[in-house]
Amino acid sequence: VDLHCGQIQGFFRPRVPVDNLEGFTVGVTYFGDMDDLVNPTVVSPDAGGVYRAKQFRDLLARKHNVDSGLAMIIKQRAKANEIDRMDLVGSVKDCDCILVDDMVDTAGTLCKAVDVLLEQGARRVFAFCSHGVLSGPAASRIEKSNLTELVVL
């Protein structure tokens, strides 16, 4: 489910057929069934996930008639595995945000993204990921964060 990158699918051919089953459809159903979302905005926590976030937003509209915005965060790295700053592209003021990512490992990016969204006026921040690796400091980071809810496939 939800191959981290589409090229992995070709690695197994021709002997082992592999199909990429996109797990975000489960998240779409979960958030589409929520009655209390206010001005929902789907947010990609990095530039590489914008296509995934757009698919999530479009399916949310088609399947659940939820009109939502789209935003993204651009990470500036000082060096590998160290985020220098994060810049928001789009507006989240007075919105309930849904961060959509394929994987949460140490939750560093996730928790910093939550802070950025709240600083920019978001009401609440939810997150959805297909792969909840949750290694090392992830649990304590999430517990200490202002994240409303993390939904893992």
Q: Which residues are catalytic?
A: 75
Cα distances from 70 to residues 115, 120, 143, in angstroms, run: 18, 14, 26
Q: How far apart are CA 126 and CA 123, in angstroms?
A: 10
Both tokens of 16, joined, read 């082992």
The percent of the chain in helix, strand and coil, each rounded to the nearest 5, is 35, 30, 40
Cα four-point dihedral sign 87, 62, 102, 147: positive
Both tokens of 83, joined, read 């985020």
User: What phi, psi does 60 have (nearest 5°)?
Assistant: -60, -40
Determine contact, residues 91/97, Cβ cutoff 8 Å.
Answer: no
